[in-house]
Amino acid sequence: MRINGKIDDKIVVLLFGGDILKNGRMDIMKKRGLKKFAAGVTLLLALGLLAGCGGEKKEAGSKAQLNVGIVQLVEHSALDAANKGFVDGLAEKGFKENENVAIDRQNAQADQSNLQNIAHRFVNNKVDLICAIATPAAQVMANATKDIPIVATAVTDYEAAKLVASNEKPGGNVTGTSDMNPIKEQVDLLLKIVPDAKTIGTVYCSSEVNSQIQIEIMKKAAAERGVNVMEATVSTVNDIQQAAQSLVGKVDVVYVPTDNVIASSMPTLVSVTDNAGLAVICGEEALVKGGGLATLGIDYYQLGKETGEMAAKILKGEAKPADMAIQTQKQFKTVVNEAGAKRLGITIPQDVLQNAEIVK
């Protein structure tokens, strides 16, 4: 420390220890050299303190950074697209990863115990918001916390899944976007492509609430059009081949909803249906890209983006999940697998093709 422009001997002793003293007095040459050194150290300490202050400000900034947890049920292209859309939607509204938001991405790989562990992780880490992708993921997160805002996507019916009091006014800590398909229009598309169909076969996971809801709507639409439906349900991807095989020779065409188990192993289903000459009409475009023939469906990237925009409003304090109605897409697109049509020897009607996105 400088006192009246001089270095205090006591400070020198504190810095370098009592062993620099000889017989109670400091050697003058050493004293002068050490005082110069001490002056330099004092300057360095002062700079260090300033740097320390800067570090504290940075730390304070990091504490102010928001933490968002994303949990995805399983890895497949539709849910991957929703995940990317969510992050992009947040960014467009000012919440950019590694700038003012830290994102903890987790994938449960369709395992219930993994979902439970991820839920505990998010709650223990006190994340500011959870994005849950797919119905089972949203259900586990909702059971784990009633305080952390949850914005979900790729959920067909929030009310039926017991995630909200109503789709119009959720009433709790959960809101989000629905991937409900235009199922009646999908049945019409099916009958345009396979006009002589008398029986529609369907394969889906019996434990997925979203799939059950879609199939019930599809069955009513088919009945209204004088067409029968034959169901084959699965529990895991290991059941798909046998379930599909059980429909061969009994149905004229196959319909699959936006089912996570089927989406995870679409090529397995198509390997059976192609051999049997059966077209597969799908609930969304990723299933078509996986080998299905056609869809009139939603855009999962856009759905995820809308979810990110909803989350941004919550993070800004502009809205609460309880008051945010479940959002649904109003525009849908037709996607046709040209290679699939050739394999099956099916001619897609021109009125279907003219506005369709073609998968080669």
SS3 for 141-193, per residue?
Answer: HHHHCCCCCEEEEEECCCCCCCCCCCCCCCCCCEEEEECCCCHHHHHHHHHHH
What's the pLDDT score for residue 330?
87
Using DSSP bridges, classify how beta strands 253-256 and 199-205 pair: parallel, antiparallel or unpaired: parallel
Cα–Cα distance for residue pair 326/335, rounded to 1 Å: 26
Q: Using the Cα atoms of residue 234, residue 236, residue 237 and residue 242 in order, give the sign of their dihedral.
A: negative
List pLDDT tens digits, range 46-74: 444 333 333 333 333 334 699 999 999 99
What's the pLDDT score for residue 59?
34
The percent of residues in the chain predicted with pLDDT above 90, rounded, is 81
Average pLDDT over residues 289-315: 97
> What is the value of pTM for the model shown?
0.78
Using DSSP bridges, classify how beta strands 2-3 and 6-7 pair: parallel, antiparallel or unpaired: antiparallel
Cα–Cα distance for residue pair 87/137, rounded to 1 Å: 17
Residue type, 138: A
Confidence category of residue 15, pLDDT binned at 50, 70, 90: very low
List pLDDT tens digits, range 212-251: 999 999 999 999 999 999 999 999 999 999 999 999 999 9
Which residues are CB-contacts of 104 (< 8 A; sequence separation ≥ 6)?
67, 68, 69, 70, 121, 122, 125, 127
List pLDDT tens digits, range 165-205: 999 999 999 999 999 999 999 999 999 999 999 999 999 99
Cα–Cα distance for residue pair 141/115, rounded to 1 Å: 8
Mean pLDDT estimate for the chain: 87
Q: Is the pLDDT of residue 352 over 60?
A: yes
What's the pLDDT score for residue 37?
44
| Phi, psi (degrees; rounded to nearest 5) at 293 | -90, -45
Q: Is the pLDDT of residue 145 over 90?
A: yes
Q: Is the pLDDT of residue 10 over 60?
A: no
Cα–Cα distance for residue pair 88/82, rounded to 1 Å: 10
Q: Is the pLDDT of residue 94 over 60?
A: yes
**Residues in a beta bridge with 204:** 233
Report the candidate in 73, 109, 108, 117 with the shortest Cα–Cα distance to residue 210: 73
Give the tokens for residue 110.
């369709």
Q: Which residues of 248-274 are buried (b: 16+ CB within 10 A; e: fewer)?
A: eeebbbbbbbbbbbbbbbbebbbebbb
Average pLDDT over residues 303-322: 98
- Vertex 206: Cα angle to 275 and 134 (nearest 5): 100
Confidence category of residue 130, pLDDT binned at 50, 70, 90: very high
Q: Is the pLDDT of residue 13 over 50?
A: no
Q: Answer for the pair 72, 86: CB distance below 8 angstroms, yes or no.
A: no
- Assign 248 to helix, strand or coil: coil
Average pLDDT over residues 100-106: 97
Residue 56 or 121, more confident: 121
- Assign 74 to helix, strand or coil: coil
Cα–Cα distance for residue pair 338/168, rounded to 1 Å: 39
What's the pLDDT score for residue 64?
60
